[in-house]
Amino acid sequence: MARKLRPDAPRVVTANRLRDGVVVYRTAAGAWSPALDDAHVVASTEAEEGLLRACTADVADCLVVGLDVIEVQIDAHGAIAPISQREAIRAVGPSIALPQDRAFAPLAAPA
Amino acid sequence: MYQYDAHDQALVDQRVDQFRDQVARRLSGDLTEDQFKPLRLMNGLYLQLHAYMLRVAVPYGTLSGDQMRVLAHIARRYDRGYGHFTTRQNIQYNWIKLEEAPDILADMARVQMHAIQTSGNCIRNVTADPWAGVAPDEIEDPRVTAEILRQWSTLHPEFSFLPRKFKIAITGAPNDRAAVKVHDIGLRMHRDPDSGEAGYEVIVGGGLGRTPVIGKTIRRFLPKDHLLSYLEAIMRVYNAHGRRDNIYKARIKILVDALGIDAFRDQVEAEWQALKDGPLTVPAETYAAIRARFALPPYDEGLTGSVSTLRLDEAADPALARWIRANVAPHRVPGYGIVNVSLKAPGQIPGDATASQMERIADLADRYSLGEVRVTKDQNLVLPHVRLDDLPALWRALDAADLASPNVGLVSDIIACPGLDYCSLANARSIPLAQALSERFADMARAQDIGELHINISGCINACAHHHVGHIGILGVDQKGKELYQITLGGRSDDNATLGKVVGPAVPADRAVELIAGFVDTYLAIRHPGERFIDTVARTGTAPFKETLHAAA
Amino acid sequence: MPLLETGRRVRDRWTHLSDTDAPPDEAAPVTVSLARLTAERDALLARPGDLGVRLPNAAAVADLVGLLDGDTNRLGLIVLTFPAFKDGRAYTQARQLRETHGYRGSLRATGDVLRDQFFFMARCGIDAVEVDLPESAAEAAWRSALDEVRSVYQPAADGRTPIDVLRRHTAPGREVAA
């Protein structure tokens, strides 16, 4: 679990989808979305506890695992971004270019 | 390479079915995550930052061409077209779906592969010298022993819930290429000075991680028939007495240190008396039977010469000559060489290979290397049986697949864990720094002038990239949200295994690149003729390098 | 909680005494803590009723064996403890009792005993488990758990023939059933 947040820090609930491991965020409608911008942001300890309570059924029903609360910031355009580097990488993927599988010319016949 | 018999195959097939049932029970809710986690870990399945990660065992780093093709198939069918070869001679996939994991295991089982015990608090995949069976300095092929250990440790009824993970490494040669002194148990084959019989020096309690320790010899000479009974005695003492109250103090090295090696040895000896000469005795016929299953197609006869005496035409093909000098090692059979394939092209992610690269390696293994490939703890590959006259053709084929970087063992052959880009334990990223350093040292002619130099980068204290034993070791740390790198000098994992010493405070990545470039310049300025980087550090200590630190500040 | 003995659901015939309880009668089979066995050894061994001990997983089997003058079969039941399923010390105790000290009585696993650990327990010589499963599911769970992996490499306490021994006694080329 993340360390304790400031009482009024904006925060969202995240988890991994059980069947495929995909990173997901809790939405206001009570669903799970792979997009952080869909997340329901709350900004108090009480609201966080309520949000987590609402999620526990989905843990019990094997929809998600690894429930966590992470601190976020919201820019002028309403885009949500995590505070920590770890969560930023979780949200958008590795910071590096991933290897691209490209086919090679067939091997020449042996001499 | 070892060929399964019907028994080996039956066990792996049964294990696939068992795991398929466990996954189904998890998805249906019969198992909680707490109950399921150790079960999936015992099949190498982690939940990482972005998805599930599957670690597939490559026992003692040996693969056939057909197995490599299946690894490529898995990368393409179930992942994102690539895989990562690890410092424990395994391969990891980063984008796995839990619901597909049983199918992946079934695909692997068809080519005699599995993910058994690649994680969890059990005996992990046994690692060995990647040049096993072909190195000229070898006493015996350590893979026969490693396979016996693989079988003994697989689903071991007593040792599947140990205090912590347990890693065993074995080298069959006096030159240790398996880092046996930094494993929970290290085995070094040697001959009894009196009888001439081959056996093992047994080293215990080594390890890296949070508390790096060089292992201690618990037994100078263990005859081969006692291998399993003696190791079972060590494991039993550890299982009974290893700490379980603190995960950071649970490895065997802490127990050995707390008791002292002599008291620990006494306990092992007492336990061994109950086990010695019992059903765990390994008769010579078992060694012979396992060795027979490693049978290779025959080498071509009548060849002569060695790579060390090969005449290289520098003028005609300088790049080929450079590659042979850096990447091809002497083979015990005349006319053959050991070809090391670098997975460290400048800017490449260390240890990553695409599915097409894996297939290319598989095809080249079948054509030029008696169908065999090895994985090294330095995250490279090896084609172990290549005719010297095939080297030019092989080199061209590797080069066409970005696999011919002439830098094995050199400064740009950087060892790096996945770090914070993938790993849920990491505190800092490893890969971007490895890429920056390998690009900084991309001049291969200069890299050859610098000579042997191992840079190891770990993204956290768990030390998957063995930074403590890197000639230059780098540990990523998170200091109040800042990603910084702590540098050590003088570590090594060979026969003179030593832990590196910290130089200076932790620095940001760009500064780390500048400092390391400065350390290399210092070495070039003060080295004696024939002295490697590590020899210079051993001779001078870190003082001259610390001056670099201040000068560059 | 259901008690299974070699996979069959049974009623527990043993009375598990606290360190102060008196036995119900002289003939009743009772278990006591290791501490009580140590303190009241002579009186407990002199009773006509069967005696068992509850062995903490940190206890040294050699100490228990010493207390019994080397004869573990003076006990009819040894209760092993798994405080958490990840704590595997009792596997070693089980094999030491069975294989090193020739114990033939019942070995019972208690605590965090899960279906997916039955296989390892049975291989170590544990023949009874107190298991947190619904009554109806317990027997089936035991049977199927022991049946999942049928090929074993290690000699252990369950009498299964290890693969290496099978190989040495199987004519080359003869297939085995999977």
pLDDT tens across B27-49, in order?
Answer: 999 999 999 999 999 999 999 99
CB contact under 8 A, A21 and B51: yes
The DSSP 8-state label assigned to residue B168 in this structure reads E
Domain interval for residue B42 = 6-109
B447-462 mean pLDDT: 97
Q: What share of chain C in percent tops pLDDT 90? A: 83
Quote the pLDDT of residue A3: 55
* Predicted confidence (pLDDT) at residue C174 exceeds the cutoff of 70: no
Residues whose CB is less than 8 angstroms from the CB of residue B361 and which lie 6 or more positions away in sequence, other chains included: B68, B341, B353, B373, B381, B383, B403
Residue A28 located in a structural domain: yes
**DSSP H or E stretch at residue B7:** helix B6-28
C70-96 mean pLDDT: 97
* Predicted confidence (pLDDT) at residue C175 exceeds the cutoff of 70: no
Please give the mean pLDDT across all residues of chain B.
Answer: 96
Give the chain C residue nearest B236 (alpha carbons). Answer: C92
* Predicted confidence (pLDDT) at residue B297 exceeds the cutoff of 70: yes
Say whether both B259 and B320 belong to one domain: no
Name chain C contacts of B41, Cβ cutoff 8 Å.
Answer: none
* Predicted confidence (pLDDT) at residue B354 exceeds the cutoff of 90: yes
Nearest to C151 among B7, B21, B157 (CB): B7
Quote the pLDDT of residue B316: 87
Give the chain B residue nearest A105 (alpha carbons). Answer: B400
Give the chain B residue nearest C118 (alpha carbons). Answer: B157
Residue A29 located in a structural domain: yes
Count of B-C CB contacts under 8 Å? 110
Q: What distance in Å separates residue B487's CA from the closest CA in chain A?
A: 22
**Domain of B161: which CATH number?**
3.30.413.10
CA C98 to chain centre: 9
CB contact under 8 A, A62 and B26: yes
Residue A99 located in a structural domain: no
Answer whether B187's CB lies under 8 Å from B223's CB. Answer: no
B103: three-class secondary structure by DSSP: helix
Quote the pLDDT of residue C176: 45
CB contact under 8 A, A96 and B81: no
Show the DSSP H helices in B210-350 as ranges: 227-241, 252-259, 261-275, 284-292, 318-327
Say whether both B426 and B454 belong to one domain: yes
Q: What share of chain B in percent tops pLDDT 90? A: 94
Q: Report the C-alpha gap between B46 and B58 in whole angstroms.
A: 17
* Predicted confidence (pLDDT) at residue B147 exceeds the cutoff of 60: yes
The ipTM is 0.94
* Predicted confidence (pLDDT) at residue C172 exceeds the cutoff of 70: no
Neighbour count for residue B174 (Cβ, 10 Å): 12
Q: What distance in Å separates residue A73's CA from the closest CA in chain B?
A: 15
Nearest CA to C122 out of C27, C5, C11 is that of C5
What total number of domains does chain B contain?
A: 4
C176 or B549, which is more confident: B549
B459-481 mean pLDDT: 95
pTM, entire model: 0.95
Quote the pLDDT of residue B552: 54
Contact partners for chain C, using 3 or more CB pairs closer than 8 A, are B
Contact partners for chain B, using 3 or more CB pairs closer than 8 A, are A, C
pLDDT interval class at B547 (50, 70, 90): confident
Residue appearing with tokens 């403890």:
C81
Residue B84 located in a structural domain: yes
pLDDT interval class at C178 (50, 70, 90): very low
Residue A86 located in a structural domain: yes
Nearest to B355 among A93, A95, A101 (CB): A101
What total number of domains does chain A contain?
A: 1
Residues whose CB is less than 8 angstroms from the CB of residue B230 and which lie 6 or more positions away in sequence, other chains included: B202, B219, B222, B268, B272, B275, B276
* Predicted confidence (pLDDT) at residue B322 exceeds the cutoff of 50: yes
B160 touching chain C per CB within 8 A: yes
Which residues in chain C (77-106) have CB-CB distances under 8 A to chain B? 85-89, 91-93, 95-96, 99-100
Interior/surface letters C126-162, b for 16+ CB within 10 angstroms, e for the rest: bbbbbbebeeeebbebbeebbebbebbbbbbbbebeb
A41-66 mean pLDDT: 95
Tens-digit pLDDT profile for residues B169-179: 999 999 999 99
pLDDT interval class at B313 (50, 70, 90): confident
C49-57 mean pLDDT: 98
Answer whether B87's CB lies under 8 Å from B379's CB. Answer: yes
Residue A97 located in a structural domain: no
Say whether both B382 and B311 belong to one domain: yes
Residue A5 located in a structural domain: no
Residue B455 located in a structural domain: yes
Say whether both B74 and B39 belong to one domain: yes
Say whether both B420 and B547 belong to one domain: yes
Amino acid at C75: L
| Extents of the domains making up chain C | 3-148
CATH architecture of the region C3-148: Alpha-Beta Barrel (3.20)
Domain interval for residue A43 = 11-92
Among the candidates B231, B262, B289, a domain finishes at B289
Quote the pLDDT of residue B494: 87
Residue A104 located in a structural domain: no
Residue A3 located in a structural domain: no
B51 touching chain C per CB within 8 A: no
Say whether both B394 and B473 belong to one domain: no
Quote the pLDDT of residue B1: 86
Say whether both B420 and B544 belong to one domain: yes
